[in-house]
Structure 1
Amino acid sequence: MTRAPSGPLDGVRVVELAGIGPGPFAAMTLADLGADVVRVDRPGGAGLGVDPAQDLTNRGKRSVLVDLKTPQGVAHVLDLVERADILIEGYRPGVAERLGVGPQPCLERNPRLVYGRMTGWGQDGPLAHSAGHDVGYIAVTGALGLAGKAGQPPNPPANLLGDYAGGSLYLVLGVLAALHHARAEQGAGQVVDAAVVDGTSHLTTMIHALLAAGGWQDRPEANLLDGGAPFYGTYETADHRYMAVGALEERFYVQFLDLLGVAGEVPDRADPEAWPRLRAEVARAFAQRTRAQWSEVFEGTDACVAPVLSLREAPDHPHLRARRTFLDLDGVPQPAPAPRFSRTPPADPAPPPAPGADAAAVARDWGLPTAAPDTDAAGALHRATPPRPGPAPVPPAADPGPPGP
């Protein structure tokens, strides 16, 4: 695949050391915005049993195949690092150092490099070397408890809240901020330590403010935004589907009651003691019609009501279709790059590449030796030109200790 320049990050070069979870999504986001992302795939894949060429988080990237357990493989990666602006890795603390591609050798090779590290627990702390997944990370931040119903176990919102919102997007924010600094006069590269627990905790800032001010109860389904209020939640319809209600402001709430057909028949919402009765009346009304019928009633109004759609239904919603919020690329429906840009709109992303498919093109475009004969049968890039001179190296982050298992 040869890249066509586009997007606000056109000209930014990113090396992604292939992994799982929030790191690939962060690299995909950078690729969506126009960065040239080269994914360093390992022989045998990431171990998830998913074909990388079908994984949409690999879209818009290019792939080379490198064995980091060999000196030649490490040399290949350092050649790429020399020419890169950003590196992203998602290993446990210490693993990149053990492999020879940690911050110190990378920043010595390219002092302006932004070295982005993505983990669940962070690079230090008692749990830094422990295994984990999204559900555990958001559990200890208090965020998972916000998603529960009173008296029932909380349900994790897939891995959207932790891995992607608290992890990937904070890594993207961090590496772009560090890149801005590195490109300033006398700027230098640095290490960005992005942890899911940090980002997810940061997302709860407003809730902590309400909690400190006495405006939030530290238990589920007892507050304005957690399903406790009957005018902010979901209701079942006659066809056993659901409508979402968010009529917070008084003027929107008045219109909501009117269109629902219960104006003047429900208790005052200002009295929390009356919320159970109010909820029962609203539920009774919604149960009289189907989701499609209620959607027609509320569409285009200020009542703040919307149908709860499935993932397969979402791309066909009229508003999302009009905005091209979802794309159909090569027969695969997928979310479009976001956000939108008036001067530098990104192109539609290219399909995910097969591992090693782009070794020749990357070698040519990044100024490495040509793919043949300097590329082996597996598609791994071979030793490149000597490193270019640069300013004094930036001291690496403190060694976090031995790698996890």
Structure 2
Amino acid sequence: MAGPLQGLKVIEMAGLGPGPFCAMLLADMGAEVLRIERPGTPKDPHDILARGRTHLALDLRAAGAADQVLGLIERADVLIEGFRPGVMERLGLGPEPCLQRNPRLVYGRMTGWGQHGPLAQAAGHDINYIALSGALHAIGRSGEGPVPPLNLVGDFGGGAMLLAFGVLSALYEAQRSGQGQVIDAAMTDGAALLSAMMYGFKAAGRWSNQRGENLLDGGAHFYDTYACADGRYVAIGAIEPQFYALLRERCDIADDPAFDAQMDSAAWPLLKLRLADVFRTRTRDEWCALLEGSDACFAPVLDWDEAPQHPHNQARATFVTAHGLTQPAPAPRFSRSVPDQPGTRPAPAAAELLRRWGLDADALSAVLPTGASHD
């Protein structure tokens, strides 16, 4: 595997959502990721989050399973798990025995509520975690209820990316101290952290709790989406005065004095209606021809099928096709240690990967039980 994390050894305890996405990020960057999963786990050919991994099927509740995993942990740099607090401890794989076997191990724990607190043992999903952080309340239209922003804010942004940042931070610290540590990554914490700028705006009196009536939540006429003559949408983000002036010029409203007071929030509802009338006069493609690539801060709102076909995304190879699936390419970009693209180099089989990690034949037989899946 190529990439800046080449040589990093990661054990992923198979789970859902943010854990697999974090492991995918590390694998995309060249880490060797060994995914431990239950025997009989079906292989989903459409599971993009599972790309770049080696799979090892182990029954973690079977006698001796913990010893087998601890043997792998001795050779790993990172372990990622996403179970409820206490599950890994009951399996004999909590931080204490793992760090005893490998004092340099970075032990990443991904949960919704965190390892402690009154809700730590409660079930939940992305929508619950971002609700508790304050983020969900802020998303939606004025006079309407909160709108779930898919599961991007909790699972992936406030969860997986926070954990990946924590893992790499702990690895950097371990280079100096020679010691690993435990990372408690909670989606409630991460979603709150993503909201830092808004909390600052609110403290300064520049953001209210009234949903859909603020600068960046669709309240402003110059920062919103608009329907076009063909029913498709465009996105406008002309915040700065010079960009706003260009938008007015291109939309032929430069001489309309109603649009002069850009930051008068009391005028925003009426100006949104006026601007909506303007955008309904042309199709989305006609607006693209007029505005795209200019400083008017414009983009067409593309669906999942259109986005990979856009010329900018194609020029940057933002999406790739591997194993018949169109999927986002690894990111960010590196000038030297360029990662492999998905599908260009298959992940090694478990036996091959573990030999690379230095396990001998006897150790291999212990961790590759008869009948287990090792592909």
Q: Is the 8 A contact 1:59 1:353 kept in 2?
A: no
Deviation at 1:373, TM superposition (A): 5.9
CA distance in 2, matches of 1:167, 1:282: 37
Query: Which residue of the partner structure matches residue 28 of structure 1?
Result: 24
CA distance in 2, matches of 1:301, 1:201: 34
1:187 and 2:183 correspond: no
1:220 and 2:216 correspond: no
Q: Which amino acid aligns with 2:237?
A: G
SS of structure 1 residue aligned to 2:16: coil
1:132 and 2:124 correspond: yes
CA distance in 1, matches of 2:99, 2:239: 51
Structure 1 residues 120-147: Cα deviation after superposition (integer angstroms, max 9, x where no partner): 0000000000000000000111101121
**Which of the residues 150, 168, 171 maps onto 1:158?**
150
Query: Which residue of the partner structure matches residue 105 of structure 2?
Result: 113
Q: Is the 8 A contact 1:359 1:379 kept in 2?
A: no
Query: Which residue of the partner structure matches residue 88 of structure 2?
Result: 96
1:54 and 2:46 correspond: yes
Alignment RMSD (CA, Å): 1.9
CA distance in 2, matches of 1:154, 1:361: 49
Deviation at 1:168, TM superposition (A): 0.3
* Number of equivalent positions: 370
CA distance in 1, matches of 2:181, 2:211: 40
**Which of the residues 318, 328, 331 maps onto 2:311?**
318
**Which of the residues 15, 21, 25 maps onto 1:19?**
15
**Which of the residues 291, 294, 298 maps onto 2:291?**
298
**Which of the residues 265, 272, 277 maps onto 2:256?**
265
1:63 and 2:55 correspond: yes
CA distance in 2, matches of 1:87, 1:233: 42
Matches within 5 A, 1:230-249: 230-249=221-240
1:332 and 2:328 correspond: no
Q: Is the 8 A contact 1:246 1:305 kept in 2?
A: yes
Q: Is the 8 A contact 2:29 2:339 kept in 1?
A: yes
CA distance in 2, matches of 1:53, 1:82: 31
Q: Is the 8 A contact 1:66 1:76 kept in 2?
A: no
CA distance in 2, matches of 1:245, 1:206: 20
1:376 and 2:354 correspond: no
Q: Bigger CA drift: 141-150 or 365-374?
A: 365-374
TM-score w.r.t. structure 2 length? 0.94
Q: Is the 8 A contact 2:323 2:343 kept in 1?
A: no
SS of structure 2 residue aligned to 1:224: coil
Q: Is the 8 A contact 2:229 2:284 kept in 1?
A: yes
CA distance in 1, matches of 2:327, 2:314: 12
1:358 and 2:343 correspond: no
SS of structure 2 residue aligned to 1:71: coil
SS of structure 2 residue aligned to 1:175: helix
CA distance in 1, matches of 2:273, 2:116: 49
Q: Which amino acid aligns with 1:337?
A: P
Q: Which amino acid aligns with 1:240?
A: G
- Alpha-carbon spacing, 1:23–1:313, altered in 2? closer, same or farther (3 Å): same
Q: 5+ residue gaps in structure 1? A: 382-405
Structure 1 residues 227-268: Cα deviation after superposition (integer angstroms, max 9, x where no partner): 110000000001111100000001001110111122212513
CA distance in 2, matches of 1:334, 1:380: 26
1:147 and 2:119 correspond: no
Structure 1 residues 251-301: Cα deviation after superposition (integer angstroms, max 9, x where no partner): 001110111122212513232222222111110010011111111111211
Structure 1 residues 170-215: Cα deviation after superposition (integer angstroms, max 9, x where no partner): 000001110111122x420100000000011011111111111111
Deviation at 1:53, TM superposition (A): 4.1
Q: Is the 8 A contact 1:23 1:88 kept in 2?
A: yes
Query: Which residue of the partner structure matches residue 281 of structure 1?
Result: 274
SS of structure 2 residue aligned to 1:200: helix
CA distance in 2, matches of 1:176, 1:164: 16
Q: Which amino acid aligns with 2:211?
A: P
CA distance in 2, matches of 1:82, 1:372: 14
Q: 5+ residue gaps in structure 2? A: none
Q: Bigger CA drift: 112-121 or 370-379?
A: 370-379
SS of structure 2 residue aligned to 1:170: helix
Deviation at 1:372, TM superposition (A): 7.9
Structure 1 residues 305-344: Cα deviation after superposition (integer angstroms, max 9, x where no partner): 1100001111111101100011111221000111111111
CA distance in 2, matches of 1:36, 1:195: 25
Q: Is the 8 A contact 2:39 2:372 kept in 1?
A: no
SS of structure 1 residue aligned to 2:64: helix
Q: Which amino acid aligns with 1:208?
A: Y
Q: Share of identical aligned residues, percent?
A: 52
Highest relative contact order (Cα 8 Å, sep 6+), 1 or 2? 1
CA distance in 1, matches of 2:265, 2:13: 52
Q: Which amino acid aligns with 2:304?
A: L
SS of structure 2 residue aligned to 1:177: helix
**Which of the residues 205, 214, 217 maps onto 2:196?**
205
